[in-house]
Amino acid sequence: MRRATGNAVAALVAVLGTVALAGVLAGCRAQSTAAQPAGGVTSPADATAAAVSGAGAPSATSPANTGVDSDLNSVDDQLSGLDSALAQATASPSDGG
Amino acid sequence: MNALTRFGIATAATAAVAAGAALPAQAQTVFGAAASSATGKAAGTAGLDAAKALATSRIDGRLETLHALELAVNNASHLTSSDRSALSTLISSDISGLTSLRGKVGGEATVSAVRADETTMVDQYRVYLLVVPKVHLTNAFDIESAAESTLQKVHDALAARLAKEPGGGTAAEKSQLADLQTQLQNAQQAESGKVSTLLGIQPGPDADAIHSALSPLTAAAKTARTDLRKARDDAKALRGELK
């Protein structure tokens, strides 16, 4: 009787332990996934696959284009300032000079 | 609203105030002349006072413009340090000279002496005809130089991107890149050396000569602007194709 009870308790502990371990592992995995940026790669294998497939190729907002776009915006500002300077250079009141 | 835009408004307002002050002064002159036959010496004094008021108003208009230019020079972000220094020195010197002239006008005893001071005010300073264009054209040339540097950087980045394309890019892309460089060279050629020529123009009694000296410089600045716009358009088109 005592032995049968002991076996039952041991089995119950084993089941509970397995369930608990599974829960912890699931939690860790969920946390890991949540920590990834949106659209991010979730494993080294995925990263390798993405690199091979070209998924990381330059897009409209790639660093290379960002630098060019920023410089082109600066040029737009400079040309706007140039328009203003040229307009004022030729718009002085006369009053005899 | 940037400093240079504020300068434009200040200049226009100053001119309006000066014109408004001049009209009553001229009216006083006419009135004084009519009354002179009756009151003699009193009318002469009124005429002198009117002449002084007009001359002082005209000097004040120039001083206001110079102070506005001073602020504009301090705030212009693309002026080179040497150009900023040259313009600041010119403006300070003119403010000092015209302030002294203003005091001299107040102490004149005859209308003809006041008229002579007004001639000095115009011929020796040429604030409106020369100093204003000097400041704004120098700023324009320095902005163009800065834009050329930025566009050259863009050209080099786009050239590096194009070199990685199969065959070094399409024929159209290669043509756009080449035109970008050509337009940049044209702009540099148009504006190169113009600031020193501009800053070397001196005031004087010959207004036409000053006009003639300024005219090709203004044209050069506008030519460079056209070239830079084309270069910018080339760069944007090429950038769009290399997404």
CB contact under 8 A, A97 and B18: no
Q: Does B3 touch chain A (CB under 8 A)?
A: no
Residues in B 163-202 with any Cβ partner in A closer than 8 A = none
Whether the CB of B63 is below 8 Å from some CB of chain A: the reply is: no
Those residues of chain A whose CB sits closer than 8 Å to some CB in chain B are: 58-60, 64-65, 67-69, 71-72, 74-76, 78-79, 81-97
Burial class, B152, CB count within 10 angstroms (exposed 0-12 / middle 13-18 / buried 19+): middle
ipTM over 0.85: no
pLDDT tens track for B144-155: 999 999 999 999
B161 close to A (CB below 8 A): yes
Task: Give A5's pLDDT tier (boundaries 50, 70, 90).
Answer: low
Encoding tokens for residue B157?
């980045």
Residues 6+ apart with CB under 8 A from B147: A75, A78, A79, A82, B187, B228, B232
Domain that holds residue B120: 3-125
What is the DSSP secondary structure assignment for residue B129, as one 8-state letter? Answer: I
Instruction: Tell me, yes or no, if B153 comes closer than 8 A to chain A by beta carbon.
Output: yes
CB contact under 8 A, B154 and A93: no
Tens of pLDDT, residues A37-88: 333 333 333 333 333 333 334 444 566 688 999 999 999 999 999 999 999 9
Asked whether the whole model's pTM tops 0.95, one would answer no
Domain boundary among B125, B143, B158: B125
Mean pLDDT of all residues in B102-106:
98
**Number of folded domains in chain B?**
2
Report domain extents, chain A: 1-34
Question: Which residue type sits at B179?
Answer: D
B24 and B72 part of one domain: yes
